[in-house]
Amino acid sequence: MVQLPFVALAALLITPFSSAALTQCPSKEASWTSKTGAEYTICRNTDYRYGGGSLKVARDIKSTNACAEICSKDPRCVKAVYDKRNRICHVKDNANEAQMNWASDAKFDTIRVKNVNEGVFISRCPNPTNNYRSKGGKTFNVCHNSDYVGPTTRMTKNCASLAACADICSGIKTCKKAVYDKQEKVCHIKETEPKASLFWVQSKRYSVVHAPVESKPATQGKWSDLIRLPVIPVAAYVVPQFPQSQQLLFFSSWGADAFGGASGRTQFGVLDLPSGAVGQREVADTHHDMFCPGMSQLADGRILIQGGSDAEAVTLYNPKTNAFTRGPDMKMPRGYQTSTILSDGRVFTIGGAYSDGSVFQAGPSKEQHWYGTKQKGSIVKSGKRDNADAMCGIFVMYDAVAGKILSAGGAQDYTASDANKRAHITTIGAPYKPASVKRVADMAFPRGFGNAVVLPDGTVLVTGGQRKAMVFTNTEGILVPELYNPATNKWTQLAPHAVPRNYHSVSILLPDATVFIGGGGLCYVAKIGGSTAGCDKTADHADGEIFQPPYLFNKDGSIAKRPIIQNLAQKPVKAGSTLKFSVTNTSGKVKMSLVRMGSATHSVNSDQRRVPLTDFQVKGNQYTVKLPKDNGVLLPGYYYLFVMSPQGTPSMSKTVQIAL
């Protein structure tokens, strides 16, 4: 058994001699973010000495943060010093950075633009910013030292300046974004979005201008800033916990950014949802490289992780003890398999160990099947979904009571294959009976390697994917998510995320009704522990983003009032029993649902399903809810309980455990 505490990522604290030049802040650094999203770090009781005079000196400045704000408004400012005793802000001249000495001095605080590595994807400008009004009268936002990677429709050489590039863009009706190459003095007019995807990255060679974009959270939702992670989240799951889950666990392989071979160890990370703190650990005592496994949440909340690189191995994670233990080996070693829990609590694995029950297979083949799991098993055809296969498409059971499964996208082959945008709803009923398949509205974009999450209200959020499935690339990655509404049979395009989420990416519903997406990439290395230098690191995404769907906002864009669930007993319940609780902070007719906590990898989340709750009685603010009695509908395990206001805004969830 291995039970290691997660270690919070923090700067190494050192205490240098007062005369020594600093290489790290001797105390914990503070962060400050400008109104435009640029990030700065503040190191207390230090000074930048030598290196020439100041570009600007501002007096009677009240605080270090106010000095940081002055720096943020000056595009030349990379470093600044605040004189606390005399209340003076010095914008430093970074031209002589090599001669600049960073030293301890209690009279000053130092400020610097937060370092972002070259080529790293960004969602907000981390550099000095300003606005520019073109000769044509258009206003542009400017982000220095960044680039839009993507198609250029027009290129102008011998362009004298960034301002001249903005003027060119201003004269083109369709131009929304342009890039200025400072080295070659070339202006690139970028293709319009979402016709093409433009990836915003850090780059000292370039600066960008873009037309201001109005935020529309009430109709398009809103994304968080990027969350930098210690490992690429190739797989992820929510840790079951009463009264509300608090953590998201994720993992890669033997390397934080690499896989290849049976290594006997796995790199894990954790995101603490309330605080945003990130931690990391290596799991080696189970002798299991868990890359590309089958994953299932068990009835008692443990997570079963089976197969993968160490193809016969089985690992169990216990959320109550934060411990990983080795389980019994599979009889048939497997990788890239799919598993799902059965109504009796046992786990069915395609090609692995079979158990009593029945399982419906909706893809990726065009033919659908029922798998019988009694004795030696059986396979019964259940109708044709489409005329083509759909490798790495999306699927989700958005209404388990009615047996409704949405599937969409995918490609004929695993890689180097054009994706499609077709969507279907498959309705299943009694086991081994033919399913009905209905073609529904197409997505706006073809997607291979996309991900899907069912939301509390029964709509389905689809993120990421590529127009042409190409493993380990950003090529033709789709940044615009879509929301499918089964009630109207319509797809809605939403606010774009910052990073392409393609092969090896995940998405998963969080307990506050937001959605985490992350990952993509991972470097194949033939030798365990070998170098990743030969890989395309621009396709490796050790980061995540959190999406707030439109239902969390009022029409004016303000945060909507949420119902509050109270007095729910923290004990297991069985299918067919009742839940009793109170609901406050809302009035009128509400809706309810249970959504099973998910586990995701390789575009597959066989744990998630939504169970609408329609049989309930109300007395004042007290609710008595009758649960579905079929364990095939209400699978054992841990669920989020959501209550939706008459306006459609969901509550923060409370945890419900369905026991056998």
Contact, 270 vs 224, CB < 8 A? no
> Higher confidence at residue 199 or residue 26?
199
Q: What proportion of the chain, given as a percentage, has pLDDT over 90?
A: 74
Catalytic amino acids?
A: 503
What span, in angstroms and rounded, lies between the C-alpha atoms of 124 and 586?
35
Nearest to 210 by CA among 151, 119, 144: 144
Token digits of residue 398: 């958005």
Number of alpha carbons in the 13 Å side-chain half-sphere of residue 208 = 27
Task: For residue 162, give the H/E element and its range.
Answer: helix 162-170
Amino acid at site 643: V
Domain 129-213 is in which class?
Answer: alpha beta
Average of per-residue pLDDT across 610-625: 98
Task: For residue 238, give the H/E element and its range.
Answer: strand 235-238
Question: What are the beta bridge partners of residue 179?
Answer: 188, 208
Q: Can you give the pLDDT at residue 8?
A: 35
Nearest to 504 by CA among 121, 303, 233: 233
What span, in angstroms and rounded, lies between the C-alpha atoms of 412 and 419?
7
pLDDT grade, residue 50 (50/70/90)? confident
Residues in Cβ contact with 16 at an 8 Å cutoff, skipping those fewer than 6 apart: 22, 26, 104
- The verdict on domain 564-659 having CATH code 2.60.40.10 is yes
Burial 232-241 (b: 16+ CB within 10 A, else e): bbbbbbbbbb
What does the pLDDT look like over 445-481, one tens digit per residue?
999 999 999 999 999 999 999 999 999 999 999 999 9
Q: Can you give the pLDDT at residue 20?
A: 56
What does the pLDDT look like over 167-201, one tens digit per residue?
999 999 999 999 999 999 999 999 999 999 999 99
Average of per-residue pLDDT across 235-252: 98
Query: Is pLDDT at 574 greater than 50 in this prediction?
Result: yes
Residues in Cβ contact with 230 at an 8 Å cutoff, skipping those fewer than 6 apart: 9, 256, 267, 269, 278, 279, 280, 542
pLDDT grade, residue 527 (50/70/90)? very high
What span, in angstroms and rounded, lies between the C-alpha atoms of 458 and 439?
18
Average of per-residue pLDDT across 491-496: 98
Nearest to 377 by CA among 349, 344, 347, 355: 355
What is the CATH number that goes with domain 219-552? Answer: 2.130.10.80
Given this chain, do its domains 7-113 and 129-213 carry the same CATH topology? yes
Question: What are the beta bridge partners of residue 544?
Answer: 227, 518
Q: What proportion of the chain, given as a percentage, has pLDDT over 70?
A: 90
What does the pLDDT look like over 244-257, one tens digit per residue?
999 999 999 999 99
Q: Can you give the pLDDT at residue 353?
A: 32
Q: Can you give the pLDDT at residue 337?
A: 79
Kind of pairing, strands 654-659 and 573-574?
Answer: parallel
Q: For the CA atoms of 192, 114, 537, 275, what is the dihedral angle to 10 degrees?
A: -90
8-state DSSP, 302: -
> Higher confidence at residue 391 or residue 222?
222
Cβ atoms < 10 Å from Cβ of 252: 30
Query: Is pLDDT at 358 greater than 60 in this prediction?
Result: no
8-state DSSP, 489: T
Query: Is pLDDT at 355 greater than 50 in this prediction?
Result: no
Average of per-residue pLDDT across 264-284: 94
Task: For residue 637, give the H/E element and its range.
Answer: strand 637-644
> Which residue matches tokens 């939702």?
221
pLDDT grade, residue 116 (50/70/90)? confident
Q: Can you give the pLDDT at residue 114?
A: 80
Query: Is pLDDT at 429 greater than 90 in this prediction?
Result: no
Question: What are the beta bridge partners of residue 278?
Answer: 271
Contact, 592 vs 616, CB < 8 A? yes
> Which residue matches tokens 């216990």?
318
Token digits of residue 619: 């007395």
Task: For residue 64, give the H/E element and its range.
Answer: helix 64-72
> Higher confidence at residue 311 or residue 186?
186
Query: Is pLDDT at 627 greater than 90 in this prediction?
Result: yes
Contact, 315 vs 290, CB < 8 A? yes
Number of alpha carbons in the 13 Å side-chain half-sphere of residue 249 = 26
Average of per-residue pLDDT across 610-633: 97
- Mean pLDDT, the chain, whole residue set: 90
Query: Is pLDDT at 575 greater than 50 in this prediction?
Result: yes
Provide the terminal-to-terminal Cα distance of the chain, rounded to the nearest Å: 27
> Omega of the bond prior to 194 within 30 degrees of 0, cis?
yes
Token digits of residue 428: 């299943």
Query: Is pLDDT at 4 greater than 60 in this prediction?
Result: no
Average of per-residue pLDDT across 597-618: 95
Cβ atoms < 10 Å from Cβ of 58: 18
Token digits of residue 403: 């047996």
What does the pLDDT look like over 139-174, one tens digit per residue?
999 999 999 999 999 999 999 999 999 999 999 999
Burial 454-464 (b: 16+ CB within 10 A, else e): bbbbbbbbbbb
What span, in angstroms and rounded, lies between the C-alpha atoms of 297 and 506?
17
Nearest to 121 by CA among 197, 31, 8, 10: 197
Average of per-residue pLDDT across 126-135: 86
Amino acid at site 627: L
The residue extents of the domains of the chain are 7-113, 129-213, 219-552, 564-659
Token digits of residue 109: 């605080």
Superfamily name with CATH number, domain 7-113: Hepatocyte Growth Factor (3.50.4.10)
Give me the sign of the Cα torsion angle 459, 463, 468, 469: negative
Kind of pairing, strands 637-644 and 591-596?
Answer: antiparallel
pLDDT grade, residue 95 (50/70/90)? confident
Query: Is residue 601 classed as helix, strand or coil in its secondary structure?
Result: strand
Cβ atoms < 10 Å from Cβ of 9: 13
Q: Can you give the pLDDT at residue 146?
A: 95
Q: Can you give the pLDDT at residue 434?
A: 79
pTM to 2 decimal places: 0.83
Average of per-residue pLDDT across 593-608: 95
pLDDT grade, residue 16 (50/70/90)? very low
> Which residue matches tokens 């598993």?
339
